[in-house]
Amino acid sequence: MSKFPTSDLLNSLPASERDYLQDYLRQSAETMVAFSKHEACADMMAGIALTITSALEKDGKLLVAGNGGSAADAQHIAGEFTARLMYDRRPLAAIALTTDTSGLTAIGNDYGFDHVFSRQVLALGRKGDVFLGITTSGRSPNIVQALKAARSQNITTVVFTGDNCVELPDADFVLRVPSGWTPLIQQMHIAAAHIVCALVERALCPQTPDA
């Protein structure tokens, strides 16, 4: 049990910290509203979901990569596909390219950090797969190299980025969150990933009424 009465927790912070907390929540809510009303984002999520659904129907797979917080997001997204999101169903093929420390360090040591994902795409990716690169700036060198590798393998390419992306990455689908602040971009990336995964789940593993 907390040693503070819950009604006093906010007031225990200095005024500047209370203002920060409330301002963050306000900006987060405003970004979500803007994201929900952005027709281009909705169209992009629909297209991404349809593309991943088609790939998985044909025994393809989803490859996901990102750096830092986006690396954690890549693992989160792959986990939603291989485990479950909204309900029990069969596992769906997805691999996070951020988890193999031996492979990552070997590639980084021998070829440079810019190639830690591209080498894995070339090794694991096949025509008909989908590669999702997550980069809030839109210019992470190892994601750019992975996109090039994916295109060379006829793998459909998807990028999650934000409004601070000066030049859009060369990809088949680019989901651009209407925010330039990394924490809020990352929040919307996970919201988008949940939506996409749920749409794929519903298409490939529809729930049937209990007999």
Query: CB under 8 Å to 33, separation ≥6 — which residues?
Result: none
Question: How far is residue 210 from each of residues 188, 196, 207, measured CA to CA in Å?
Answer: 34, 26, 9
Q: How many CB atoms lie within 10 A of CB 211?
A: 3
Transcribe 69-93 into DSSP letters. HHHHHHHHHHHHHHS-SSS------
Give the chain's residues under pLDDT 50: 211
Tens of pLDDT, residues 60-111: 999 999 999 999 999 999 999 999 999 999 999 999 999 999 999 999 999 9
Rounded to whole angstroms, the Cα distance separating 196 from 186 reads 15
Is the C-alpha dihedral spanning 135, 184, 77, 208 positive or negative?
A: negative
Model pTM score: 0.93
Q: Which two tokens stand for residue 123?
A: 């090794």
